[in-house]
Amino acid sequence: MRRTTEVEDLLRLHAPQVLGALVRRYGHFDPAEDAVQEALLAAARQWPEQGVPDNPRGWLIRVASRRLVDRLRSDDARRAREEAAAALTPRDAFTTPPPDEPVPGGGGGRAPSDDDTLTLLFLCCHPELAPAPQIALTLRAVGGLTTAEIARAHLVPEATMAQRISRAKRKIRGAAFVQPGPADRDSRLTAVLQVLYLIFNEGYTATSGRALHRAELAREAIRLTRSVRRLLPRDGAVTGLLALMLLTDARSAARTGPHGELIPLDEQDRTRWDRAAVAEGLALVEEALAEGPAGPYQVQAAIAALHDEAPRAEDTDWPQILALYDVLVRLAPEPMAELGRAVAVAMVHGPQAGLTEVDALADRLAGHHRLDAVRAHLLERAGDTDGARAAYHAAAAGTLSIPEARYLRKRADRLGG
């Protein structure tokens, strides 16, 4: 079971890199994605039994390339184009070197496929696409999220999201697989950053499954954000997003107990936090705030910094956090930010004040388990045991994350009845 899980993690890590390599080489986004999925299925069947190859990414590229070539050959209308592409592809290109291996004849540089994921990221955020399809397609292709996971992140039905992704693929068919120039890059940056943040969030708190934390997704989001920052080192939003990720991910080791159970922020052993990541994040927050007017990522990073700077939960500067949430909801008035603000209101002005804020979000977050979870916590603090127990059970029923559901049911059971 453990070996199977390790293989799944490895496949999620390499999938966007393999897709990027195929799109760069053949230029067929939709068939390339299908070929990558077939290669991933083949690996999922073979690797747990036969062992992971020395160069897993090269293995996946080779298998996916063969599947794609077969697929293109089966289409008479594309036969000539496919044969020309295959003839021009060097034989050793099907065995892409590992990420840290220098490119043969490349003057000591890194493998070309190192940049493929970043190029794929900007391709999916093509300006011909509206923001919603940009984000959906990128989460699918680069983040490796399922359509159901993307739909849940956007609070829309799965069928709606599937149509959105399919339309986006058709619209960018034939687009050049190259990194955009500065002006074009700037037009795509907002969507790029939003996608990276959503990928990170899915990694930090998985919306479904047995694991609370999908570490490989969080790490990949951080890696890609670092790459974007190398392109735009003085962009405050990019710097702020990287700071936010580092300050949040620094708590990962303390978020789960020995059996994978969820440990909330106020109960975590803060000595287990990654202090190097905290220090880097704090330095980046200062840099981000100095790079111009603060946007949503800089403000959220500043909130995360106040949590990470507190040596104990009771030392948290909640009045300052509330002030920052007031700024955040003015900049980005979306329900989850307002739910975070409701918690801050409760910590400063008492649980009843927080419950009033939560009730105001009931229509916009109807049926979302996080609304029920926050309501349960505030009802418990207010002394309404029966109401809190019912809200904890409602939240547990609404989440697809097994660790979250167990935690919420445990909180309900602790209240008796």
Per-domain boundaries in the chain: 1-92, 116-173+180-202, 332-417
Per-residue pLDDT, 78: 47
Place of tokens 């100095």: 290
Range name among 44-58, 82-96, 171-185, 381-395 with the lowest pLDDT average: 82-96
- DSSP code string of 310-372: -SSGGG--HHHHHHHHHHHHHHS--HHHHHHHHHHHHHHH-HHHHHHHHHHTTTTTTT-HHHH
- The segment with the largest mean pLDDT, out of 38-42, 98-102, 224-228, 392-396, is 392-396
Whether the predicted pLDDT of 235 surpasses 60 = yes
Look at residue 131 in the predicted model and tell me its pLDDT: 81
The topology under which CATH files domain 332-417 is: 1.25.40
**Is the pLDDT at 266 greater than 90, yes or no?**
yes
* pLDDT in the model for residue 71: 73
| CA distance linking residue 150 with residue 274, whole number of Å | 29
- Of 75-79, 115-119, 168-172, where does the model show the most confidence? 168-172
Cβ proximity of 318 and 348 under 8 Å: yes
pLDDT bucket at 45, cuts 50 / 70 / 90: confident
The neighbour count for residue 32, using CB atoms within 10 Å, is: 26
Q: Using the predicted structure, report yes or no on whether residue 89 has a pLDDT greater than 60.
A: no
Within 8 A by CB and 6+ apart from 338, the residues are 329, 357, 361
Q: Looking at residue 101, what is its pLDDT?
A: 42
- State pTM to two decimals: 0.76
CATH architecture of 116-173+180-202: Orthogonal Bundle (1.10)
* Residue entry with tokens 């990170």: 200
Mean pLDDT of 322-341: 95
Number of neighbours of residue 78 by Cβ within 10 angstroms: 15
pLDDT in tens, 183-212: 778 888 888 898 899 889 888 887 766 777
Count of CA atoms in the C-beta half-sphere (13 A) of 150:
27
Provide the pLDDT confidence category of residue 5 given band limits of 50, 70 and 90: low
> Is residue 351 pLDDT above 80, yes or no?
yes
Residue 403 token pair: 């660790």
Over residues 362-396, the pLDDT tens digits come to 999 988 999 999 999 999 999 999 999 999 999 99
Q: What angle do CA 302, 286, 115 make, to 5 degrees?
A: 90
**Which of 30-34, 73-77, 85-89, 314-318 is least confident?**
85-89
User: Quick one: pLDDT at residue 104?
Assistant: 34
